[in-house]
């Protein structure tokens, strides 16, 4: 049985305009789409939060000048579990401090639909963009629980990722989910990035393709896939085995369903807007079918004796009378040989008999 999880990444006040310390452009705008995903029957729905101590190594206030300029400077950090490993990370303004309003999930998100919240980045010594591990790949107390283990315990094999920011925490969470063996889908319509250009989100999408991480469209590919995962009795017989609407890869043409966006999303057609192509095609097909029925009704009754190709006829209905065929020369000969006469010959005989009787009367 296929079971899917939805990961809502870092939809926090400090990452959203207008007052966020590290606001991602348009960050608050995707909340309605995320809520629509949260309304779908995912087996598990998890939200993540950056949950930093005040002295986190990535903060500008934690670094000395001149290498302490947010968005411009970087600093080198070492792996707490292996001192021989080091990595450069960007410097950020102070954000998402544990227990502060800036670290809270924005009120526009339907928090009641979320099953569990994972806090990450709790270790001041390391950066942690991913919900699965820190930048060195360590699973430690930097996260409030082991996400991989939790997903496995719940039988999850497929993960959908949305949230902020596409070119950092969403990207790293999707990467690590793939490395952990999950099928990964990033719903692009429900993601915003710090850099939405070719070097930011553009480069991230190219890397997704290389890794086999897919970018389905909300209105085309996500809804039916999740909706029919199991029957009400939990048997799993109703699960969608497929994405026949998937356009990204032929491998997935056998797996799924086409569906429209729910009312209220930013992709919803406006009232009075022309119908979608698929609806028009359906109407054309219905019209063509009705025209064919009318043509059949207007055909001469002579065709009514033809063999039906549809449903079996009612057994009580009388069989149509067969048309009489004029006998051929060959039939006449065979009749004479057998001594039996055909129906037409009998009629001929009856016509000639009165004439013979009339001749006899004259004599």
At a CB cut-off of 8 Å and minimum separation 6, what does 138 contact? 79, 80, 81, 126
CB 324 within 8 A of CB 343: yes
- Tell me, yes or no, if 120 is annotated catalytic: yes
Q: Give the strand pairing for 158-164 and 4-9.
A: parallel
**Annotated catalytic residue, options 123, 169, 172, 176:** 169
Q: Beta partners for 178? A: none
Question: Which position among 36, 45, 120, 205 bears the catalytic label?
Answer: 120
Q: Residues 267, 269, 274, 278: what is their CA dihedral angle, to the nearest 10 degrees?
A: 60
Q: Which of 10, 50, 60, 176 is catalytic?
A: 10
To the query of whether residue 169 is one of the catalytic residues in this protein, the response is: yes
Please indicate whether residue 157 is annotated as part of the active site.
Answer: no
Task: Judge contact between 244 and 255, C-beta under 8 A.
Answer: yes
Residues taking part in catalysis: 10, 120, 169
């Amino acid at each position: 049985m296929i079971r899917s999880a939805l990961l809502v990444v870092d939809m926090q006040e400090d990452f959203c305009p207008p007052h966020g310390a590290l606001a991602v452009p348009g960050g608050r705008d995707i909340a309605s789409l995320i809520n629509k995903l949260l309304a779908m029957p995912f087996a598990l729905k998890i939200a993540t939060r950056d949950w930093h101590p005040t002295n986190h190594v990535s903060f500008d206030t934690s670094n000395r000048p001149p290498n302490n300029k947010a968005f411009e400077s970087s600093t080198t950090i070492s792996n707490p579990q292996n001192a021989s490993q080091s990595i450069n990370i960007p410097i950020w303004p102070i954000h998402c401090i544990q227990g502060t309003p800036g670290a809270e999930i924005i009120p526009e998100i339907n928090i009641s639909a979320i099953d569990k919240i994972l806090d990450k980045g709790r270790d001041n010594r390391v950066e942690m963009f991913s919900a699965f591990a820190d930048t060195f790949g360590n699973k430690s107390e930097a996260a409030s629980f082991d996400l991989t283990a939790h997903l496995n315990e719940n039988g999850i094999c497929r993960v959908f990722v949305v949230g902020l920011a596409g070119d950092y925490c969403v990207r790293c969470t999707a990467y690590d989910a793939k490395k952990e063996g999950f099928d990964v889908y990033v719903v692009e319509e429900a993601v915003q990035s710090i850099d939405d250009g070719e070097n930011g989100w553009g480069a991230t999408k190219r890397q997704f393709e290389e890794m086999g991480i897919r970018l389905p469209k909300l209105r085309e590919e996500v809804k039916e896939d999740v909706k029919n995962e199991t029957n009400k009795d939990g048997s799993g017989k109703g699960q969608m085995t497929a994405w026949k609407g998937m356009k990204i890869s032929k491998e997935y043409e056998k797996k799924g369903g086409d569906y429209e966006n729910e009312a209220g999303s930013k992709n919803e057609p406006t009232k009075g807007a022309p119908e979608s192509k698929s609806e028009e095609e359906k109407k054309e097909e219905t019209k063509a079918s009705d025209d064919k029925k009318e043509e059949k009704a207007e055909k001469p009754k002579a065709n009514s004796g033809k063999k039906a190709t549809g449903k079996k006829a009612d057994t009580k209905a009388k069989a149509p009378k067969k048309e009489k065929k004029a006998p051929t020369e060959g039939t006449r000969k065979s009749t004479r040989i057998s001594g039996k006469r055909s129906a037409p010959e009998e009629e001929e005989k009856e016509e000639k008999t009165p004439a013979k009787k009339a001749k006899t009367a004259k004599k």
